[in-house]
A and B are shown apart, each in its own frame.
Chain A
């Protein structure tokens, strides 16, 4: 990529950095990789070295967990610099083959999983209460499913739970159907700014076809993109935990069955640190009969990333050190939690894997809040 002079400095406000190091100090992946984000903020001031910096493997270690941004006293978003460097690689076409496969699938199929668009609704087979909206049709809520939930057989069941819950609460909602597309979040995290912009345009146009009041997402990653990164999207965006908390509060959702388990909630980075939605998931958990909750030492703003986001699904770190998700699971184990509750498909996958890796399958489980709600209904 030919970088115009000063682009980086301006775009990321690099001159605002006082080199205090709080970003690197809080960065969770430093325990397993050589990534030093402060150093990148410093070095990228010099346009001449950008090319060289973009070739450093550790720019792919960042999980975009937002910790550095939360900690920065100058209000910068240090990790965005790393995404800028990734973008240089992507534009040159010089990225990991696994990332290429995912990105090409986003372009060809509208999802990163190499699945045909025409199979996007296969999860709904045999489910009642799934309404696909026609153009111009009215509904209170437009429900966006997310690629991972639509295609990963481990996550698909949660969608059914969400459908049941919304129907039980009498929510007037509809879906897009096979035309639903990737939100673009992971495209952007993999450095594909152009592709992200494409999804921004396409999805904004798509959502505009319906007469809906609110857009509700299953995944925090979609939530974040729609809410903060889309340029022209005017409908309010909610994560499902926000909608369900509202339904419970309004007395529209009755949770009657006892779910006796000790739960610790793992804040998904894109819901918590990125969008400061900390209370709603906890409120929901507190309303499930029988659930006993406990908190991680590192929770909310200080919550430890599980390494599922930031395009990490497709780019593996070389590090042999334990994955952060394993640390997280070990912490939960120390707390005596039987259930790690999550509210994100990526978290669910990484934590499930870590539970197995630690050999804790007998003692604990990962559950999406939707699964717990399903049991309580």
Chain B
């Protein structure tokens, strides 16, 4: 049976969800799944990963307390050269993308980045990637190689429940000296309070369909539950319900969130121009012909004053 290495991702004491997504994907490929955990004080993560992997390979050393692409690459090269897995999956994230190409080139691996699907056809992997902002997909075939590597897009594959009970294997840090060419310093949290909606990952955006200022608290409650920021159309900014820096559109901000939830926004050309880069658009609007539905992935044709409170309830339920 082939072996697949999965590079676990953690940050500031938290194991990131993409790790379980990668392990889920690897488990679907009929292979021996090895989670590779580089970090410092990794016992808890190691036991968690054991239920998603056949083996957890742990390098527990202060050198890996924080991400450093050079140290990580050196460690991975040593581990991979020793165990010779068939494939390595890394997350296509700020960490994974920081190492995928250079690691693959050093190892002579055939690789591709930002995949959304992966299968094995015979011995060889075949990957699916998105092109043109997700408008079309492409099938990727690899040059024959000893080793294949891919970077998996976050959220592309839902994580399954862990049903394995892999062995935890601690190995000595194979990297002799801490990197000098690049050093981790610290983290800077994004400024809070003064929201820059162009940087928001989730946006709840309101339009004139909100009707009255007094409905704003309801929207803020929804956004709060979702961890989203609130933006709006020019109509609501004009009405003074939101400050000007929250306006989306040609004369406002151009936003590129992962989710744009448009509440009572008609989808005027001038507005849409500012939000067309959003990954997922959901629109709630009473008017089935509102142009916003042409730009939305999901739509609800109904009164937002009814749907939003119901949504708040559902989200509260989900959070328990």
Contacts and interface: CB of A to CB of B under 8 A. Distances in A.
B273 A316 contact: no
A318 B250 contact: no
B263 to A, nearest CB: 16
B311 interface: no
Contacts of A314: 250-251
B235 A353 contact: yes
Interface string A60-102: 0000000000000000000000000000000000000110011
A320 B240 contact: yes
B220 interface: no
B289 to A, nearest CB: 12
User: Considering residues A154, A316, A323, which has the most beta carbons from chain B within 10 angstroms of its beta carbon?
Assistant: A316
B252 interface: yes
B231 interface: no
B55 interface: no
B269 A313 contact: no
B34 interface: no
B250 A98 contact: yes
Interface string B266-307: 001110010000000000000000010000000000000000
A313 B244 CA distance: 15
Contact of B269 (A102, A153, A315, A323): A153
Contact-residue size bin, chain A (C-beta under 8 Å from the other chain): 20 to 34
A26 interface: no
Given A98-B250, A314-B250, A314-B251, A154 B240 contact: no
B273 A114 contact: yes
B254 interface: yes
B252 A316 contact: yes
A356 B240 CA distance: 15
Nearest to A323: B238
Contacts of B247: 316
Contacts of B238: 323, 357
Given A113-B273, A152-B269, A353-B235, A316 B251 contact: yes
A98 B248 CA distance: 11
A313 B268 CA distance: 13
Contacts of B251: 98, 313-316
B239 interface: yes
Residue among A151, A320, A323 with max Cβ neighbours from chain B (10 Å): A320
B235 A356 contact: yes
Interface in B228-245: 234-235, 238-240, 244
A154 B235 contact: no
Contacts of A154: 268-269
Interface in A127-159: 151-154
Contacts of B273: 113-114
A291 B5 CA distance: 77
Contacts of B10: none
B198 to A, nearest CB: 9
B86 interface: no
A312 B273 CA distance: 16
A151 to B, nearest CB: 8
Nearest to A315: B251
B235 A316 contact: no
Nearest to B266: A356
B153 interface: no
A357 B235 contact: yes
A-B pairs, 3 with minimum CB distance: A316-B251, A152-B269, A98-B251
7 contacts: A113-B269, A316-B234, A316-B251, A316-B252, A356-B208, A356-B235, A357-B208
Given A98-B251, A353-B235, A357-B238, 10 more contacts: A98-B250, A152-B269, A154-B268, A313-B270, A314-B250, A316-B244, A316-B247, A320-B240, A356-B208, A357-B235
Interface of A: 97-98, 101-102, 113-114, 151-154, 313-316, 318, 320, 323, 349, 353, 356-357
